[in-house]
Amino acid sequence: MRRLLAAFVLPAALAAGAAAAVKNPETFVYAAAADIDSFDPAWAYDTMSHNIIANVYEYLLDFRGSGTTVKDLTAILSEKVPSRANGLISADGLTYRFPIRKGVKFHDGSLLTPEDVRYSLLRFMLADRDGGPSQLLLSPILGLETTRSGGKPVAGLYERAAQSVRVEGGSVVVRLHRPFAPLLSVLANFGAVVSKPWCAAHGQWDGRAETWMKSNDPAHEDVIPNELANGTGPFRLERFERTQSQVTLARHDAYWRGPARLARVVVKKVDEFATRKLMIQAGDADVINAQLIYQPQVQNLEGVSVIDDLTALEAPTFLSFTFKLDPVANPNIGSGRLDGSGIPPDFFSDKDARKAFAYAIDYAGYIRDIQRGKGRQAAGIIPPGLVGRRTGPPRYRLDLRAAAEHMRKAWGGSIWEKGFKASIVFNTGSPQAQTLCQMIKKNVESLNPKFKLDVRSVQWSTYLEQTQGRKIPLFIGGWGADYPDSHNFAFPLAHSAGYYPGRQGYSNPQADKLIEAAAVEQDEAERARLYGRLQDILDEDVPHVPIAENVRYRAQRSWVKGFVFKPTFPDMPYGSYYYDLSKSE
């Protein structure tokens, strides 16, 4: 068939090949597989959204090249990287001074001021949407994991925050609650700077003490809408098209480091991999989302380069359980009862039910068939390269007999007797997650004919909403580093105030204590020991089942120049820092 097609199209293909110059030389097109949740830096906490934010807004600091350590940091909106040596970090490690860069312009033409930086950091902390990123700064600066108590904003918090983040002359001074070494790394990925007057003019918090509570834990509809953005970054938001899930960025000509070489960047969701592949083949896309399972299909495409064996700083792929589901209007739990046609909202609060799933996963099959042998079964939640990563044998392996035993014990034997029906959910456009869900379904359903698992896909933004709303009993999760430190994996995956436990309803005070102790521990060996104990607890509690460590690759047109793999940059290796890129033969 291939020969037949080749013969049919040869003359035209030759003509087309002869004219294969750089297509749209000033426009970069990324054919993505997921849609975008939000461009508001105080709301967004997912890789797709942050990829756009990191190009439209800027942070105080950034990592140079592929670096991930403090010495790799470079100054962006701060004129200098604070250190003890330059006197910008106090001797007690509690005060950081950021001299704010002058002459930086927002996309609307206004000049960046230290007050904008202060406002941005305060807004980031005080918005504190449920399941959002605010805790990343709240914790080190105010010593809090949340701004609410009993569901209501805590009075007096603004005053505390305003005391901790101050403008002094041309600098912003941040006073920490306790020493926190990764602070600079956090500020290289979070706390993007917005314009205070612009935000206030667009219905956002006006920066006053009297009004902050109204903006606390905002609804999605109350943050900066996706049609608007005003940062200092190298690209401005030109357009967001909801129906086509497309974002168009245009060059910010007044960018302080000089305009980008690319005039435009288009990030477009294309559902079908086959279409994405044809787009990169034809040169209409410069990079595409192509998971490991698809690598053989793009490996030898003419005009396409593959950058292989990239290891982003990310947690292993894992399966997560929601302990306390929201039953209201929830299509994922069937009848909502343990009657064989659904599950009760607290189905996965039973440890044996979770362990049964952990024993029903074909880890080796996943690595062999889906990761094409490149991955490795994970023994814990901390990725390679960080303190506390486990290298010993994993606690769980495929053992259907053990899975059946645990299912017999779960819910006093009711599950085994009555059966259950629930949904396992993954985000659309992830064939790896889809296949994994199907493998789990097959094995779990093989335990007992009364067990039914529906595999469902939802769009990325819906996935985020539904996991946050505790609507999904079982889901495939992942976690890219916010900053390169083990705490950034232990906290969001295992602390009761963390991102995932908050969504799951998981809490273990002992795990919380270990995570908090490890965060301030200076001795690396002791930290590793604390994380080891934490992972023993997680093995027993099974809030997540770590499956396999990931290896990635990037397929891009050969004419794309300047790509730098940044292990902590959002949506790596598909998304990029577009300022680095250009297109030429």
Partner 1 sequence: MLRYILKRLAFLPLVVFGVTALLFLCLQFLSPEMRASLYIKDPRQLSQIESVIEKYGLRKPMPVQYALWLKEVAHGELGYSETAKMPVSEAIRAFFPATFELTLISFIPIMITGIYFGVLSAVHRDKFIDHFTRFVAITGYSLPSFVLGLLLLMVFYGKLHWLPPGRYTLETDMLVHAEGFRHWTGILTFDCLLNGEWAAYVDVVKHMLLPAATLLYISVALLLRITRSSMLEELSKDYVRTARAKGLPENVVIYKHALANALIPVVTLASLLFIGLLGGVVITETVFDFPGIGRWGVQAAQQLDVPGVLGATMLAAFLFVTANLASDILYAVVDPRIRVGD
23: tokens are 């297509």
The CA-CA-CA angle for residues 426, 442, 326, to 5°, reads 45
* CB closer to partner 1, 4 vs 155: 4
* Residues belonging to the chain: 585
Nearest distance from C-beta of residue 466 to partner 1, angstroms: 9
- Map residues 299-338 to x or -, x wherever contact with partner 1 holds by CB under 8 A: ----------------------------xxxxxx---x--
* CB closer to partner 1, 140 vs 345: 345
> Cis bond leading into 509, ω under 30°?
no
Spatial distance between the Cα atoms of 336 and 39, rounded to a whole number of angstroms: 35
Nearest distance from C-beta of residue 36 to partner 1, angstroms: 10
**How many CB atoms are closer than 10 A to CB 300?**
8
Nearest distance from C-beta of residue 156 to partner 1, angstroms: 26
Q: For partner 1, which residue of 68, 185, 215, 459 counts as binding (CB under 8 A)?
A: 459
Q: How many helices, marked H, and strands, marked E, lie in the chain?
A: 19, 22
151: tokens are 């569901």
* CB closer to partner 1, 10 vs 520: 10
> Cis bond leading into 573, ω under 30°?
yes
Nearest distance from C-beta of residue 13 to partner 1, angstroms: 5
Spatial distance between the Cα atoms of 245 and 231, rounded to a whole number of angstroms: 21
16: tokens are 């087309």
Spatial distance between the Cα atoms of 61 and 79, rounded to a whole number of angstroms: 9
Residues 211-270 that bind partner 1 (CB under 8 A): 219-221, 239, 242-244, 248, 264, 266, 268, 270
Q: CB of 362 within 8 A of CB of 387?
A: no
Nearest distance from C-beta of residue 366 to partner 1, angstroms: 23
Q: Could you tell me the sign of the dihedral formed by the alpha carbons of 291, 292, 296, 300, in that order?
A: positive
Nearest distance from C-beta of residue 202 to partner 1, angstroms: 19
- Choices 112-120, 127-135, 461-469, 510-518; region in contact with partner 1 by CB under 8 A: 461-469
Spatial distance between the Cα atoms of 183 and 485, rounded to a whole number of angstroms: 10
* CB closer to partner 1, 68 vs 332: 332
* CB closer to partner 1, 242 vs 513: 242
Q: Where would I find the beta strands (DSSP E) of 459-551?
A: 474-477, 544-549
- Please count the residues of this chain forming the interface with partner 1, following the rule CB under 8 A: 45
Q: For partner 1, which residue of 272, 308, 526, 540 counts as binding (CB under 8 A)?
A: 272
What is the H or E stretch that residue 198 is in?
Answer: helix 196-201
* CB closer to partner 1, 4 vs 525: 4
* CB closer to partner 1, 246 vs 556: 246
Nearest distance from C-beta of residue 476 to partner 1, angstroms: 16
Q: For partner 1, which residue of 75, 228, 254, 278 counts as binding (CB under 8 A)?
A: 278
Q: For partner 1, which residue of 457, 496, 558, 582 counts as binding (CB under 8 A)?
A: 457
| 448 near partner 1 (CB under 8 A) | no
**Dihedral class, residue 579 (left if φ above 0, else alpha if ψ from -120 to 50, else beta):** alpha
Instruction: Count Cα atoms within 13 angstroms, Cβ side, for 141.
Output: 32
Residue that the structure tokens 């960047």 belong to: 265
β-pairing, 544-549 vs 317-321, is antiparallel
* CB closer to partner 1, 120 vs 330: 330
Spatial distance between the Cα atoms of 249 and 107, rounded to a whole number of angstroms: 12
| 297 near partner 1 (CB under 8 A) | no
Nearest distance from C-beta of residue 431 to partner 1, angstroms: 15
| 18 near partner 1 (CB under 8 A) | no
**How many CB atoms are closer than 10 A to CB 216?**
19
Q: CB of 514 within 8 A of CB of 507?
A: no
Q: For partner 1, which residue of 115, 271, 352, 405 counts as binding (CB under 8 A)?
A: 271
Q: CB of 459 within 8 A of CB of 35?
A: yes
* CB closer to partner 1, 312 vs 436: 436
Q: For partner 1, which residue of 27, 110, 349, 448 counts as binding (CB under 8 A)?
A: 27
Q: CB of 133 within 8 A of CB of 125?
A: no
* CB closer to partner 1, 152 vs 239: 239
| 29 near partner 1 (CB under 8 A) | yes
* CB closer to partner 1, 430 vs 443: 430
Q: CB of 422 within 8 A of CB of 343?
A: yes
* CB closer to partner 1, 416 vs 420: 420
Spatial distance between the Cα atoms of 524 and 305, rounded to a whole number of angstroms: 40
Q: For partner 1, which residue of 5, 201, 364, 520 counts as binding (CB under 8 A)?
A: 5
- Choices 3-11, 291-299, 384-392, 409-417; region in contact with partner 1 by CB under 8 A: 3-11
- Map residues 497-536 to x or -, x wherever contact with partner 1 holds by CB under 8 A: ----------------------------------------
Nearest distance from C-beta of residue 237 to partner 1, angstroms: 13
Q: CB of 160 within 8 A of CB of 125?
A: no
| 281 near partner 1 (CB under 8 A) | yes
Spatial distance between the Cα atoms of 228 and 201, rounded to a whole number of angstroms: 12
Which residues sit at the interface with partner 1, rule CB under 8 A? Answer: 5, 8-9, 12-13, 16, 24, 27, 29, 219-221, 239, 242-244, 248, 264, 266, 268, 270-272, 274-275, 278-279, 281-282, 284, 327-332, 336, 428, 456-459, 461-462, 465
